[in-house]
Amino acid sequence: MIGLSKALVEQFDGEVPGRLEELVKLPGVGRKTAFVVLGNAFGRPGITVDTHFQRLVRRWRWTEATEPDKIEAAVGALFPKSEWTMLSHHVIFHGRRICHARKPACGACPIAPLCPAYGEGETDPEKAKKLLKYEKGGFPGQRLNPPQAYLDAGGRPAPPLGAG
């Protein structure tokens, strides 16, 4: 953190640069972090391939690639560029909360009907609920409230599991 702060002050006059090539030269900043910064702070779309993203896109058969840059290219070809940043967030949060590496909570997963890997994890709804992990004040089995902007745009909360 100290090295990063020094580099920002010494090389960029204390401003965070808005270009990938410059961001990745900063101490502790790789492509993954750089894309998060570009997407969220500068509005420049990017695909963030972290460990969750890699695992999930393979489970969903979006790609068989194992190297981050190949995954980035393969998934990037499936979605419009304008969706890349939010897509990355959604996939990563799904991996953190529901589709875990060792014990995916398939029985409590809202996209289970769409998933070619359904059954890799626990399918019993009650047991699966106990596997869910939410951040900040969440508890197993809790559904997060959708963001207000999503509701304002006509979005609807996901129906309860099993409600069709």
Catalytic residue among 6, 32, 103, 124: 32
Alpha helices in the chain (DSSP H): 2-12, 20-23, 31-41, 51-59, 68-76, 84-97, 125-129, 148-152
The one segment of 29-37, 72-80, 118-126, 133-141 that binds ligand SF4 by CB under 6 A: 118-126
Whether 70 is catalytic: no
Whether 152 is catalytic: no
The one segment of 66-74, 83-91, 110-118, 142-150 that binds ligand SF4 by CB under 6 A: 110-118
92 binds ligand SF4 (CB under 6 A): no
The binder of ligand SF4 chosen from 115, 127, 141, 143 (CB under 6 A): 115
Contact predicate 10/25, CB 8 Å: no
The tokens describing 139, both together, are: 């508890």
The one segment of 1-9, 43-51, 81-89, 117-125 that binds ligand SF4 by CB under 6 A: 117-125
Distance CA 132, CA 97 (A): 6
> Tell me, what amino acid is at 140?
P
Active site residues: 32, 50
